[in-house]
């Protein structure tokens, strides 16, 4: 029997299992394929549901399910995970949660068929030893100190290897030790078994076929697969999502067996086309804290033309608008023109004859649908948009988010009303009505099981909202009955709210019942980005700009600079100016950088006051990848 996400403890004997992930895990096959995952075990239920590319990883083990770091976890004397087809010997990443105890047993060992240890995370006192053991018996890797970690509490460990570069080791998303860059090695032995010391528990085991970066590792630690912006950078070209026919994939998706309206089928197809166009899994999600927004900051900083002041104001105002919880009263954007019904009716006839039109025609069809409620206009708009990739994002954004996206997931200056996370291809959404204090949305869940998604409002004013949820079997955008009536006490710009959607069509309406009396004010936003770092070859100097994308100054900052894991500079900034007509920034310079003979640098930013976002406070970069001037 599948166990609940909140099961406290149950015993089981693990046999040969071909099962599905729990619904709460929320991952789909296309997500594993795109993220290039080779193996995933969530340990959330007694069936040990998961995903793997090769042989079945676990057979006939004694274990227990108990509460874990994210949901439930597995406790056993030891787990032996079979790796044939589930690991890339030349490069990859393994990541999991565990607990540190006084035991001196290795936490993890990857062994060959003859029992030789290839890669391990050993333990000696308070030190963890992430090592690659070579055929010559020599080892690559450096010890990492754990004396500050509390015993018997969950810790997230990630080990990254690449035969062309070396090894990196992360503790709780932070680089703890490494020998990376010039540590090329050769090993032709084949990994057979992953031995895990799980007597204190293990949770969220991942194996990828390539090295992950720190942003991706942080995402895993937070229970997310890969941030959309990372995928956009990894796969800039259109990518077809076709699962390997030989993969033993264990689908979370059980198709809905009821009637599916045409608008939902067409919108789902549009959503899939948009994913293939952008190379991201979730085109209706928006994370304003992701690094992509900073690229424009770099361009603005080094521009010298007369538009710099207005560009900076626009950049900082837009960023503050999205990250601030203040939610000053604002009318939702006017995205659609006034409907021309005669033109819309003519378009219906022309589309039936196979003609296709530009975005203006699509927008008029959507405006006609908004005004008249005639589904023919909505279906025609979707049909027309699918034939032209330049219309995909605009059409999907207006229908699902009542806003616009660019191809690189940055918002149009006209704000989005709402965005959605964790939908994959199981869910489509359609915003029907929106105002400053209300929102009405129709959902369709193509999965025959409930799905949990996340909503983020951007245009609703802050306050308490009444939420009415009900089925819509007759497809009239009205709840047939009230399945749930509840209150959301703290809605503000960018707040996250989980929604459980049953199979089929659901209507949800949000109405404000009480305004927020104490909205939060704007905050400073100090940030780093590797694109901003340059190398002055004439002065042999590393130049590191620290910028403030906030509209208030940032006080009392500390910037740490590391070379190959060693602290080489600890810089205190008394005040980082706010961004107004000029972009607030401070330049840190490190001379004679070549004397260090370092291959990799890391910069960490510590702010002693609340920030709009702390997602851009840590960067890692090899010196040879930095722009020289």
Q: What is the pLDDT, as a whole number, of residue 7?
A: 29
Dist CA 611 CA 531 (whole Å)? 21
Q: What is the pLDDT, as a whole number, of residue 376?
A: 92
Question: What's the mean pLDDT in 45-49?
Answer: 55
Helices (H), 288-443: 294-301, 308-323, 341-352, 359-372, 375-386, 392-401
Dist CA 312 CA 131 (whole Å)? 47
pLDDT score of 86 more than 70: yes
Dist CA 60 CA 514 (whole Å)? 56
Quick one: DSSP state of residue 405?
A: B
Q: Which residue has the higher pLDDT, 427 or 215?
A: 427
Cα angle 557-558-560, degrees, rounded to a multiple of 5: 150
- Among 113-127, 280-294, 305-319, 433-447, the range scoring the smallest mean pLDDT is 305-319
Q: Cα Rg for the chain, rounded, in angstroms?
A: 26
Fold of 9-226: Jelly Rolls (2.60.120)
pLDDT score of 280 more than 70: no
Residues 81 and 196 sit within 8 Å (Cβ to Cβ): yes
Q: Which residue has the higher pLDDT, 267 or 179?
A: 267
What H or E segment, with its residue span, contains residue 228? Answer: helix 228-234
pLDDT score of 73 more than 60: yes
Tokens (6 digits) for 163: 């035969």
Q: What is the pLDDT, as a whole number, of residue 612?
A: 67
Question: What's the mean pLDDT in 90-98?
Answer: 94
- Over residues 343-397, the pLDDT tens digits come to 999 999 999 888 999 999 999 999 999 888 888 999 999 999 999 988 888 899 8
Domain ranges of the chain: 9-226, 262-401, 418-515, 526-628
pLDDT score of 316 more than 60: no
Confidence grade of residue 312 (pLDDT, cut at 50, 70, 90): low
Q: What is the pLDDT, as a whole number, of residue 321?
A: 55
From 559, 569, 561, select the one nearest 607 (Cα to Cα).
559
Confidence grade of residue 14 (pLDDT, cut at 50, 70, 90): very low
Dist CA 26 CA 427 (whole Å)? 11
* Cα dihedral 456, 460, 464, 465 sign: negative
- Among 50-64, 254-268, 540-554, the range scoring the smallest mean pLDDT is 50-64
Residues 76 and 201 sit within 8 Å (Cβ to Cβ): no
Residues 5 and 22 sit within 8 Å (Cβ to Cβ): yes
Confidence grade of residue 578 (pLDDT, cut at 50, 70, 90): confident
Tokens (6 digits) for 299: 């361009």
Residues 225 and 219 sit within 8 Å (Cβ to Cβ): yes
CATH class for the domain made up of 418-515: mainly beta
Burial (CB count within 10 angstroms: exposed 0-12, middle 13-18, buried 19+), residue 349: exposed
Q: What CATH homologous superfamily does 526-628 map to? A: Immunoglobulins (2.60.40.10)
pLDDT score of 138 more than 90: no
Question: What's the mean pLDDT in 429-435?
Answer: 90
Tokens (6 digits) for 558: 């500390």
Do 9-226 and 418-515 show the same overall fold?
no
Mean residue pLDDT of the chain comes to: 78
Question: What's the mean pLDDT in 528-550?
Answer: 85
Q: What is the pLDDT, as a whole number, of residue 242?
A: 40
Q: What is the pLDDT, as a whole number, of residue 586?
A: 86
pLDDT score of 596 more than 90: no
Q: What is the pLDDT, as a whole number, of residue 509?
A: 92
Dist CA 495 CA 210 (whole Å)? 33
- Over residues 180-210, the pLDDT tens digits come to 877 889 999 999 999 998 888 898 899 999 9
From 362, 363, 358, 364, select the one nearest 342 (Cα to Cα).
364
Q: Which residue has the higher pLDDT, 137 or 169?
A: 169
pLDDT score of 158 more than 70: yes
Q: What is the pLDDT, as a whole number, of residue 363?
A: 92
| Distances in whole angstroms, Cα of residue 11 to Cα of each of 3, 8, 61 | 11, 11, 11
């Amino acid at each position: 029997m599948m166990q609940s996400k909140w099961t406290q403890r149950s015993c089981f004997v693990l046999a040969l299992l071909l099962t599905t992930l729990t619904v709460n895990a929320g991952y789909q096959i296309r997500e594993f394929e795109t993220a290039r995952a080779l193996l995933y075990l969530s340990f959330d239920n007694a069936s040990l549901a998961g995903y793997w590319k090769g042989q079945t990883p676990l057979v006939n083990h004694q274990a227990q399910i108990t509460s874990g770091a994210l949901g439930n976890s597995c406790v056993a004397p030891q787990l032996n995970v079979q790796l044939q087809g589930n690991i890339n010997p030349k490069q990859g990443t393994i990541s999991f949660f565990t607990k540190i105890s006084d035991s001196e047993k290795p936490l993890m060992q990857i062994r060959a068929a003859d029992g030789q240890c290839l890669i391990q995370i050993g333990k000696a006192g308070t030190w963890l030893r992430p090592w690659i053991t070579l055929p010559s018996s020599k080892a690559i890797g450096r010890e990492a100190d754990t004396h500050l970690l509390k015993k018997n509490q969950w810790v997230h460990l990630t080990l990254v290897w690449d035969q062309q570069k070396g090894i990196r080791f992360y503790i709780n998303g932070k680089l703890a030790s490494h020998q990376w860059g010039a540590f090329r090695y050769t090993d032709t032995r084949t990994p057979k078994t992953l031995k895990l010391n799980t007597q204190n528990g293990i949770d969220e085991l991942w194996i990828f076929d390539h090295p992950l970066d720190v942003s991706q590792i942080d995402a895993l630690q937070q229970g997310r697969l890969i941030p959309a912006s990372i995928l956009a950078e990894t796969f800039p070209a259109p990518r077809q999502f076709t699962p390997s026919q030989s993969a033993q994939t264990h689908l979370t998706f059980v198709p809905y067996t009821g009637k599916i309206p045409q608008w939902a089928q067409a919108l789902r197809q549009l959503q899939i086309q948009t994913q293939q166009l952008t190379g991201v899994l979730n085109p209706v999600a928006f994370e304003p804290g992701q690094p992509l927004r900073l690229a424009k900051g770099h361009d603005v900083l080094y521009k010298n033309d007369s538009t710099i002041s207005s560009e900076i104001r626009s950049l900082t105002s837009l960023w503050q608008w999205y990250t601030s919880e203040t939610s000053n009263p604002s009318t939702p954007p006017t995205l659609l023109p006034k409907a021309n019904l005669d033109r819309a009716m003519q378009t219906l006839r022309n589309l039936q004859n196979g003609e296709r039109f530009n975005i203006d025609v699509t927008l008029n069809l959507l405006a006609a649908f908004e005004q008249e409620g005639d589904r023919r206009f909505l279906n025609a708009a979707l049909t027309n948009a699918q034939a032209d990739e330049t219309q995909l994002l605009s059409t999907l954004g207006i229908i699902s988010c009542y806003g616009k996206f660019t191809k690189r997931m940055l918002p149009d200056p006209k704000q989005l009303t709402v965005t959605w996370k964790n939908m994959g291809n199981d869910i489509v959404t359609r915003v029907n009505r929106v105002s400053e204090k209300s929102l009405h949305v129709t959902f369709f869940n193509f999965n025959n099981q409930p799905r949990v998604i996340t909503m983020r409002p951007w245009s609703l004013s802050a306050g308490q909202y009444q939420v009415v949820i009900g089925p819509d079997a007759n497809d009239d955008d009205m709840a047939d009955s009230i399945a749930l009536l509840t209150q959301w006490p703290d809605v503000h710009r960018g707040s996250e709210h989980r929604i459980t959607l049953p199979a089929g069509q659901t209507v949800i309406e949000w109405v404000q019942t009480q305004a927020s009396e104490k909205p939060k004010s704007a905050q400073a936003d100090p940030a780093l980005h590797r694109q901003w770092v340059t190398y002055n070859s004439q002065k042999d100097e590393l130049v590191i700009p620290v910028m403030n994308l906030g509209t208030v100054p940032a006080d009392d900052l500390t910037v740490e600079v590391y070379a190959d894991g060693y602290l080489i500079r600890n810089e205190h900034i008394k005040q980082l100016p706010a961004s107004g007509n000029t972009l607030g920034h401070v330049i840190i310079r490190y001379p004679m950088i070549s004397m260090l003979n370092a291959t990799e640098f890391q910069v960490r930013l510590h702010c002693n006051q609340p920030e709009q976002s702390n997602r851009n406070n840590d960067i890692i970069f090899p010196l040879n990848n930095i722009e020289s001037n």
